[in-house]
Amino acid sequence: MTPHTPQTEALIAAARAVRENAHAPYSGFKVGAAIRTADGQTFVGCNVENVAYPEGTCAEAGAIAAMCAAGVRDVAAVAVIADSPKPVSPCGGCRQKLAEFSAGDVVVTLTTLDGRSLTTTVADLLPGAFDQDYMSRV
């Protein structure tokens, strides 16, 4: 396992802390996410389940919503943590949401509570992401 930078460790710690606030009474699978923005701010989110599946919210979506609510739009790094035997990747919808606010080379650190981690990028998580270029008619 490659040691993480202090900035990445801080992002993982923020994701770990917010994970405790997850509302996961149905699956018991709590997830925490933290986003560091280009200006150095950190925004966090946790999954929020709802008895009326699929009306819950993913941790990554919560962190993105908090970031947008603060008027910030540029993701610089992401950390996601869950109590799983291997690092948990964002769902497809959250991969697209991350791509909306990230350059392809934005680092995403996926980790478990016991310290197993995988470092990847938004582009590697979502090759061929749907982006603004598809919206151009010119």
Which residues are identified as catalytic?
60
21 marked among binding-site residues = no
Distance CA 66, CA 87 (A): 23
48 marked among binding-site residues = yes
50 marked among binding-site residues = yes
53 marked among binding-site residues = yes
**How many Cβ atoms are within 10 Å of 91's Cβ, its own excluded?**
13
Q: Residue 72 in contact with residue 7, Cβ under 8 Å? A: no
51 marked among binding-site residues = yes
**How many Cβ atoms are within 10 Å of 54's Cβ, its own excluded?**
8
99 marked among binding-site residues = no
Binding-site residues for substrate, please? 47-53
Binding-site residues, please? 47-53, 58, 91, 94
Binding-site residues for Zn(2+), please? 58, 91, 94
